[in-house]
A and B are shown apart, each in its own frame.
Chain A
Amino acid sequence: MAVTTIAKPHRGLARFLHRLRHGRDSAQRQFVFGSVSPMVLYMTFFTLFPMIWGLALAFFEYSARRSGGPILGLGGDNPFVGLQHFRNMLNFAPDAPLEIRQFHISIKTTTIFAFLIVPLNLAITLPLAVLIESVHKRLKGIFRTFFFLPVLAPSVGVALMWGWIYHPQRGLLNAIRTAIGGKLVATNWTGDQSLTFLGIPVALLAVIVAYLWQDMGYNLVIFIAALQGIPESIKDAARIDGANWWQMFTRVNLPLLKPTIMLASVLTMIDSFKVFDIIQVMTEGGPNEQTRVLVLDIYNNAFRFQRMGWAAAVSFVLFVVVMAISIVQARLLRTEWEY
C-alpha cells in the first residue's frame, strides 16, 4: 500500500530509491524494528494479555479478594466454573439470584436507553443542522459553538448540573412548574419509581434528556459539515424548481445525507450502550434500579461487590453487543463506498 509511483525518475535512481524504501537497507530496518518491537511487546502486555485475561475471568468464580491459584489467581479459591455465568444469564425465573435479575434489568434498560437516544438525537440534530446551515455565515459559527459546548464539559459536571435542575424542592424544572401553576410542585424526577411516561420510567427519561443535551453536539457538527459538502449546484437546481423548505429538507438534504446519518446513528448507539458517568452520578442506577445500565452493572459487580468473574462475563456481553453494532457499521460503510 505504501508503494507510490515516482514521476519519471532516472532508472538507476528509481532502483536506488526503491531499494531505499523496500530493500534491505539496514538503517530503515533498524528504525522499523527498533520502533515496532517495543510496541509489539507493549501491546502484547497491555492489550492482548488483558483481553485474554478478561475473557478467562468470565469462566471463573473470581474475586480479587481471594488469593486463588498460582497463575493470575485463577483456580483454587477462585474456581473454574466453565459456562456457568453465561448459563445463569439465561435464568429468567422470577426468583433468580439478585445479580442475574440485575443483569436482565441492565440489558433491558440499556437497550431502551440506546433505542430512545438515537431517534431523539437525530430528530433534534438534523433540523437544527439545517437551520444553522441556513443562517448568516458569521452567526453560523456562533450557533454551532453554542450547541457544541456541552460536548466538552466533563460528564460529571453535566450530571451535577442536571441533578440540580431535577432536584425536587430546589430544582429549576419544578421551580418553573411552580411559577406557572402557582402551586408548589416537588416531583422527584430521578427518584420516584412510580412515575412513568408511555411505560418508560420518568427517571430514565430524565437521564436521557441530560445525556441528549450533552451528546447532541457531535452529530450536529458532523451534519453541518455534511450539509456544507452538498454541492451548491444541487441546492440551486432545487430552488429554481421551486422547492420549499420542507421539500428541500426531505428531497435534497435527507437523501444526500443518508450515509452520514447512518454512520452517526451507529456511533451514537455504540456510545449509548456504554453510558456510565451521567447515570452513576445522577441516580446510581436508581430508583429501584430503573436506570441501571450495563456498565454500571459491571462496575458495581466488579468493584463494589467483588464479583469480578461475573462482571467479566457481563463485560463479554457488552463486547458482543458493541461488536454486533460495529459489524452493521462496517456493512453500512461498505455500501456507502459503493455509491
Chain B
Amino acid sequence: MSKRFPILLISLLIIASVVLGACKAAEPTPAPPEEGKPAEPVTEEVTLRVWTHQNDAFNEGYANLAEAYMAEHPNVTITFETFDYDTYIQTLQTALPAGTEADILQMFGSWVCSYVEGDNLAAVPSDVLSMDKARDTVFSAQLAGYICDDTLYGIPQEFNIEYGAVLVNTRLAQEVGIEDIEEGWANWDEFIADAQKLVEKQDDVMIRAGYHFTASDAIPATFYSLILQYGGQYLTDEGFRVNTPEGKQALEFMISLVDAGVVDPVLFNDEENWVGDAYFEELTAIGLVGPWVIPEYAADYPDIVDVTRYIQLPSFSDEPVFVASSGWGLTVSARSQVKETAWDFISYAVLNPENATQWNIASGTLPALKANAAGAGAEKLMAEFPYFEPFLAILEYGQHEGHFPDRDLVWYEITYSRILNALQGNMSVEETLETLEREVNESY
C-alpha cells in the first residue's frame, strides 16, 4: 500500500511547504529594521504605489499632485492602480492580509478602523501630524473615522456630505411657476409644497419626481440626521438604538414625504432611476446627493449643470445638524518599505492647504481642512463650484456617523433596504425600527 503513494506523499510535502511558506509571507512583517530606518539617502530611487478607487475626477486630482511632487523629487516615481468601488473593498480586504497592497491606500474614512484591526495600516507619525494639530486643522466629522483607539491612521481629503443641501433644477422650478426657489425654504411645509408642484404624472404614473431622497446614501443620511435634529441619538452606551420616539418621528416624517406624493419609492430608488441619473435626466426636480455628482455628470449634461443650484434643506433643529461619513483620504500600509516618502507625499498632497484645495477642485469635493472652508481656499473653490456655498456654511454642524464594524453593511444592506421597505408600504413603522435596531446590533 505505502509503495503506491510515493507521488502523493511527495506532493503533500510540497503543499505543506507552500502552505506554511505562504503563511509566513502573509504574516504582517514590520519593515525590516536593518535597512528601513537608518539611512534613506535622498538620491535613492523610490517607487510609491498608490491604490485608488475608480473616479475620474478624483484620480485626475491625484495625477496632478503626483506630477508636481515628482517634479520636486526626481528620485520618486508614483504609480497608480485603480479599482471600481465595489471591488475595491474586496481587494483591500483580501490584499491586506496577503500583503500585496500598495504603499499608499486611498480609504473611505468609515472603513479605516476595520483595517487597523489586523495591524494593516501605519499610524500617522506625530511629526507629520500630531493628534492635537489634527483636531485643530481637520473637521471632526471627517477626522473621527481615521481615529481608532486614540491613534490617527490617515488624513481625510474631502468632507463627505450626503445631507444638508439638495440639488435643485431651477429651470423646472420656473416652468411650474416657482420663482423664489433659490431663496430657500423656511420650513418643511414650504419645501413639500414646492416639491409637490414639481411632480409630473401621466396616467397616474410618476414620470418626474419632486424630491428624490430614496437612494442608498440618501435614506440613511436622512434618517440618522433627522434623529439628531429631533434631539435624539442613535448610538448610545447600550448600543445602537433607533426604536425610540425620535427614530419613530424620523421614519414617520420620511413616510409623510412619500404620502405627500413627492416621490414614488417603487420607481425611484437606488436600483431604479438612481438619484444622480434621475436628476440629470430630469426625472426628478430635486435630489438628495452630495456635490461630488456634479463633476461626474458635468461633461454629459452641461445644460442641466447650468440650471442647477444646491439649496439648503430645512431643519427641525436650530442648528442644521447632520450625519456625515468620514470621506476619502490617504493611509499608508503598515508593510510599506517606503513609509517616510509615503507620508511626505501625503502631507504634501493633503496638509498643504493650497494643494488640498487644488485636489478638492479637481475632484469637485468639499474641503476636509477647516482652513479651506473659509478664506482664500473657500473663495477659490466657490469660484470653481458656486454651488458649494450652502455646504461650506454648514460643514461645522456635521457629526460623524460613528464607528460600525461593517459600515457598508449597516448603511446599505440594513438601513437602506429596511427603510425603503417601510417607505414602499411593505412594513409597519414599529416593525421596521425593531428589525433595523436588532440587525445593526447583531453586526457588532
Contact = CB atoms under 8 A, between A and B. Distances in A.
A287 B119 CA distance: 38
Contact of B269 (A40, A72, A191): A191
Interface string A41-70: 100110001000000000000011111001
B90 A191 contact: no
A168 B11 contact: no
B304 to A, nearest CB: 18
Contact of A45 (B11, B117, B205, B425): B11
A183 interface: yes
Task: Give chain A's interface secondary structure class.
Answer: loop
Contacts of A41: 7, 10-11, 14
B424 A193 contact: yes
A277 interface: no
Interface stretch (B20-28, B189-197, B319-327): B20-28
B374 interface: no
Interface in B1-28: 7-8, 10-12, 14-15, 18-20, 23, 26-28
A306 interface: yes
Nearest to A77: B118
B240 interface: no
Given A45-B15, A66-B118, A191 B271 contact: yes
A67 B11 contact: no
Contact of B93 (A36, A64, A184): A64
A120 to B, nearest CB: 25
Contact of B409 (A283, A288, A305): A305
Interface in A131-166: none
Given A64-B93, A64-B97, A194-B424, A184 B23 contact: no
B19 A284 contact: no
A40 B11 contact: yes
Contact of B23 (A65, A72, A98, A288): A72
B426 A194 contact: yes
A77 B118 CA distance: 9
Q: How large is the interface on B (under 10, 10 to 19, 20 to 34, 35 or more residues)?
A: 35 or more
A145 B243 CA distance: 59
Contacts of B118: 65-67, 77
Given A186-B205, A186-B267, A188-B272, A306 B12 contact: no
Contact of A49 (B15, B97, B269): B15
A71 B20 CA distance: 7
B442 interface: yes
Contact of A65 (B19, B97, B271): B97
Nearest to B438: A95
A70 B439 contact: no
Contacts of A304: 86, 89-90, 408
A184 B20 CA distance: 64
Interface string A212-226: 000000000000000
B417 interface: yes
Contact of A67 (B20, B28, B408, B417): B28
Contacts of A306: 93, 406
A12 to B, nearest CB: 32
A259 interface: no
A288 B267 contact: no
Contacts of A66: 97, 117-118
Interface string B405-429: 0101100011001000100111000
B18 A98 contact: no
Nearest to B86: A304
A273 B28 CA distance: 39
B266 A73 contact: no
A183 B203 contact: yes
Contact of A284 (B14, B266, B271): B271
Contacts of B8: 40, 44
A185 B93 contact: no
A303 B240 CA distance: 25
B230 interface: no
Contacts of B98: 64
Contacts of B443: 98
A283 B27 CA distance: 38
B151 interface: no
Contacts of A36: 7
Nearest to B6: A37
Contacts of A63: 93
Contact of A283 (B271, B273, B408): B271
A64 B94 contact: yes
B404 interface: no
Interface in A157-192: 168-169, 183-186, 188, 190-192
Contacts of A79: none
Given A194-B426, A305-B406, A97 B442 contact: yes
Contacts of B272: 168, 188, 191
A203 to B, nearest CB: 10
Of B93, B98, B269, B272, the most chain A CB neighbours within 10 A belong to: B272
A49 B90 CA distance: 23
B59 interface: no
Contacts of A194: 266, 424-426
Contact of A44 (B12, B23, B27, B414): B12
B43 interface: no
Nearest to B95: A64
A206 B132 CA distance: 57
B292 interface: no
Interchain residue pairs A-B with the least CB separation, the first 7? A184-B203, A186-B205, A44-B11, A41-B11, A183-B203, A64-B94, A191-B272
Interface of A: 36-37, 40-41, 44-45, 49, 63-67, 70-73, 77, 95, 97-98, 168-169, 183-186, 188, 190-194, 283-284, 286-289, 303-306
